[in-house]
Structure 1
């Protein structure tokens, strides 16, 4: 696994919908001023919160910010995703674009137009599409890299065996393979074999980490701060996290936070980065991204990590 300089990634899912343009610009400005680099978006963000019933709002806000901030494109790297955007408004998942070669090419072209850029730094396959031959998907991603439209490609919410199969196909076809994984992961864990309420989410597993470590893949985590549940009483953890292990982990979290003089959120982010994982953090206010970025200064020792491992 690539554990060199793990970074906090700014999640922009709510930009243009839950987070208005002015607030989004302020967050982006603060993130870059503090040395943040990676922006994570998707062509489908956030169709479920947009009156139009389709995505694109987040990418449009980022594109407007880039246009309004000369030199900003050189300061940031942009990751976006294809697969989930509805082709028919208010019709998901029935009309989700999928991962055919045509859908990938069309989706990326639209993303480039909204962002106002000539390339994507990291293009993700947002979720599996088993209606399309994996060879076709792999070939389409590889072609975008060969064209310089995408500099790197990765797989979000994919089973480890599908990722490895795709990488094998890429080697056979002599095209760029997926070199990054994006999965849901945080300090607390759900009860084993508990279905997730959130459609399309896939949890990071030991098998994913084994693959990443053996192949040198980057790992990004989403829902890293559990939508504020670590620090907000009005946002309790989902019922699937209601088990004794969660109580034990949160107790250790409070102990460690006191020992290192950090917030709960900062310790969770430091715990992820200590493992070489790049956590995605979605925020709606400047002070939230400032708090998150301060986690880069939190140092967890082996003893802290061992206590968390025992509690989990």
Structure 2
């Protein structure tokens, strides 16, 4: 397993791949989740990602499921000290805000964040998380309130590093500037949707935000900021005929990029998934892919991407397709 530093020189060491726990306890049962976590750890993986609302959209689920499964695994394997643990706040359903999610998301107010962190620590069975994200933008709350509340968690020792997910680049930059001006810990990681294919410019974003050129430029100018990419393999659509591409990628550019991706994969003797992961990890702005897998075989395919090195010509073809 390759490793890197999260959020700059004094951040924790993390594995170059992050295991996403979003489906654990809902569409991935606990036994399978434990097998995935065990296999990832045996391969040298140390970085695991969850949130306090995963998977609240599954019928009958509440949002507790992923954190609870992960907490049980951490305790049963005594793995807390060797796991870099990330979770998120801001998108959990709050019944007091109405019956429908995501309209009733808890938001990023100071009180909501305190309640969210207390709940996450309880479900995870720990007194600290290594990386804590503001999960989705909340423009109803002053940015200063969110930044200062999160900084308080770092000061109290309950959070190690702060991150933002699904935020516009200008909001990320403004939040970091506010923190820096006041000597507060600011966002040192950002997690957005990121894959090889590019979405249509007019595709609706909803809660999720794609990594775009503006964010890549910002990350290149601020190397202390770690960029993570979720849904890097678009739910299996690169390699499975039963998984069509999401509508956001339905445009002529996808045809060209898919063809070049297949050509490079054939040259490398690799799968398209492995080429996508290698392309993300080895770019000018290195990305930590957050893996969404549901079987050990899928995880093994992803782990093999760590040993795949694209030559400059292959990378240039992929970049310019």
TM-score bracket, normalised by the shorter chain, equals over 0.9
Structure 1 residue 50 displacement after superposition: 4.6
Q: Does 1:303 align with 2:310?
A: no
Structure 1 residue 96 displacement after superposition: 1.1
- Structure 1 contact 2–213 (Cα < 8 Å) conserved: no
Listed one character per residue, the Cα deviations across residues 85-128 of structure 1 (whole Å, up to 9, x for unaligned) are 00228531232110011111110110000001111110000011
CA RMSD of aligned residues (A): 1.7
The structure 2 residue matched to 1:87, chosen from 90, 94, 101, is 94
Listed one character per residue, the Cα deviations across residues 219-239 of structure 1 (whole Å, up to 9, x for unaligned) are 000110000000100111123
Given the superposition, is the C-alpha separation of residues 118 and 50 from structure 1 closer, same or farther in structure 2, using an over 3 Å criterion?
Answer: farther
Listed one character per residue, the Cα deviations across residues 207-264 of structure 1 (whole Å, up to 9, x for unaligned) are 1111112122100001100000001001111233122211111111111111111111
Report the counterpart of residue 270 of structure 2 in structure 1.
Answer: 262
Unaligned runs of 5+ in 2: 1-6
Given the superposition, is the C-alpha separation of residues 205 and 96 from structure 1 closer, same or farther in structure 2, using an over 3 Å criterion?
Answer: same
Structure 1 residue 5 displacement after superposition: 8.2
- Identify the structure with bigger relative contact order (alpha carbons < 8 Å, sequence gap 6+): 1
- Structure 2 contact 15–44 (Cα < 8 Å) conserved: no
- Structure 1 contact 85–97 (Cα < 8 Å) conserved: yes
- Structure 2 contact 54–65 (Cα < 8 Å) conserved: yes
Report the counterpart of residue 4 of structure 2 in structure 1.
Answer: none
Report the counterpart of residue 195 of structure 2 in structure 1.
Answer: 186
The DSSP-based 3-state class of the residue aligned with 2:227 is strand
Aligned residues: 307
Report the counterpart of residue 3 of structure 2 in structure 1.
Answer: none
Structure 1 residue 172 displacement after superposition: 2.4
The structure 2 residue matched to 1:56, chosen from 43, 51, 64, is 64
The structure 2 residue matched to 1:174, chosen from 158, 177, 183, is 183
Q: Does 1:210 align with 2:220?
A: no
- Structure 1 contact 212–219 (Cα < 8 Å) conserved: yes
Partners of 2:253 and 2:150 in 1: how far apart? 40
Partners of 1:290 and 1:2 in 2: how far apart? 29
- Higher mean alpha-carbon deviation, 25-34 vs 202-211, is at 202-211
Partners of 2:264 and 2:8 in 1: how far apart? 26
- Structure 1 contact 139–173 (Cα < 8 Å) conserved: no
The DSSP-based 3-state class of the residue aligned with 2:159 is coil
Q: Does 1:290 align with 2:318?
A: no
Given the superposition, is the C-alpha separation of residues 305 and 211 from structure 1 closer, same or farther in structure 2, using an over 3 Å criterion?
Answer: same
Report the counterpart of residue 103 of structure 1 in structure 2.
Answer: 112
Report the counterpart of residue 221 of structure 1 in structure 2.
Answer: 229
Partners of 1:2 and 1:107 in 2: how far apart? 26
Given the superposition, is the C-alpha separation of residues 218 and 174 from structure 1 closer, same or farther in structure 2, using an over 3 Å criterion?
Answer: same
Listed one character per residue, the Cα deviations across residues 244-296 of structure 1 (whole Å, up to 9, x for unaligned) are 21111111111111111111101100000012100111111111111111100
The DSSP-based 3-state class of the residue aligned with 2:57 is helix
Structure 1 residue 2 displacement after superposition: 6.5
Partners of 1:50 and 1:38 in 2: how far apart? 28
